[in-house]
Chains A and B, each alone.
Chain A
């Protein structure tokens, strides 16, 4: 069955550093992969989508890479700020459904 895994441990970094979150998947080759941000008590918010033929996508301080050979996506936040603290979810699409990872909690300390 399809598995999608993210760093289960929380990631703690210092303000100004680059945060890197990992998403690994098995048993499937998705046409695209999405990243979402979720704050406590709120619904996920869409951040970025990257397609299988794209190696990298950027949006302001965010960068996503997609390596279909490694079956891995990396999500980077450069010049991180305390306001970036949240849980980040990756999701791949399979048969018209989004399958989510369990999320990685990021904490950026001032």
Chain B
């Protein structure tokens, strides 16, 4: 069966520090991968999605970036965190060629201090 792993679960980082969040999917090939952010009291905002290795689409201009170095690995990064980057970050996947039916990871709670 397919599983999605996301880590770390919680993270407290100072302003200006770098960020790396990792997400991996097991049990499937060529998944579509997504990064969402959920700010406190707000809905989900799509940050990036990827339909293949090295293929990243950015939805919101900001100081975050994403990479997909392997088929089932999706990384969210920042060179310098801002206070406004605090939030709950969710990785998700859908099967290749399917545009619906997200499966979400358990999320990372990021607090920038």
On whether the two chains bind one another, the answer is: no
Report which B residues bind A (CB closer than 8 A). none
